Amino acid sequence: MLAHIRGALERKEIDVLRQAMAQAPWEDGTSTAGANAGDLKRNQQLAPDSELSRALGKRLLSSLLANPAFISAAVPLHIYPPLFNRYGVGDHFDPHVDNSIRGDAMTGVRIRVDLAATLLLSEPDEYEGGELIVEDIYGSRRFKPPAGDLILYSAGSLHMVTPVTSGQRLASFMWLQSMIRADEARSFICDLDESIQELAPRVGADDPDLRRLVTVYHNLIRYWGEA
């Protein structure tokens, strides 16, 4: 599963997050790398349990959960509180896969990590390097999208951030447990939901074929879904 959600966050929201981050203290980013990835990672992050990080994460999630493309692709059940990082010159994250389980120390909630997401907060011309590379069934996919775009991918995929050679790369990242556990099934659900959303304005909600597709969509969610 790999999705590029363009314009997931509006410019005014990006500006609010960046202004808050500019005044914040930063810490070493290895604490969220997991047991086996700490030696592979060099960057900085807002303290995950800080009041600021939680407030910014809550604000970000309110926007994402109102985004139909995000809901279609992720079918989220649980979302780990979003985190925020920055990569300066020389920072990188070598190839790794994410931990299968994440626990939130503040709430005690544990989630199965099906998906990871990176939402860029810097424009591509603000830094050199810093590409997100994700391995999927089609090979290596490279991403350096505009600020506000979100890349959603299987947390079990090998992925990395290439070294930043100039400037600064700001981003938010998060992990999700989906209602649909299997990547292939989630892709089917996403394709079907996007087709329904595209057809509805053209044919109208009363169209019998559209109603049939909606019925299939919800019955597949019932068949595959966890809640």
Domain count, the chain: 2
- Regarding whether 209 and 125 lie in a shared domain, the answer is no
Interhelix angle 183-203/208-224, nearest 10 degrees: 160
Residue 216: C-alpha distances to residues 29, 106, 188, 205 (Å): 43, 39, 11, 15
- Regarding whether 171 and 192 lie in a shared domain, the answer is no
Domain around 216: 183-224
- Regarding whether 144 and 102 lie in a shared domain, the answer is yes
Contact (CB, 8 A) for 102 and 127: no
- Regarding whether 196 and 169 lie in a shared domain, the answer is no
Max CA pair span of the chain: 57
Q: Which position has the token pair 């994440």? A: 102
Burial class (CB in 10 A: 0-12, 13-18, 19+), 120: buried
pLDDT of residue 75: 96
pLDDT in tens, the chain (227 residues): 899 999 999 999 999 999 999 999 999 998 887 666 667 999 999 999 999 999 999 999 999 999 999 999 999 999 999 999 999 999 999 999 999 999 998 888 899 999 999 999 999 999 999 999 999 887 899 999 999 999 999 999 999 999 999 999 999 999 999 999 999 999 999 999 999 999 999 999 899 999 999 999 999 999 999 98
- Regarding whether 196 and 132 lie in a shared domain, the answer is no
The pTM for the full model equals 0.93
Gap between the Cα atoms of 101 and 175, Å rounded: 10
CATH of the domain at 213: 4.10.860
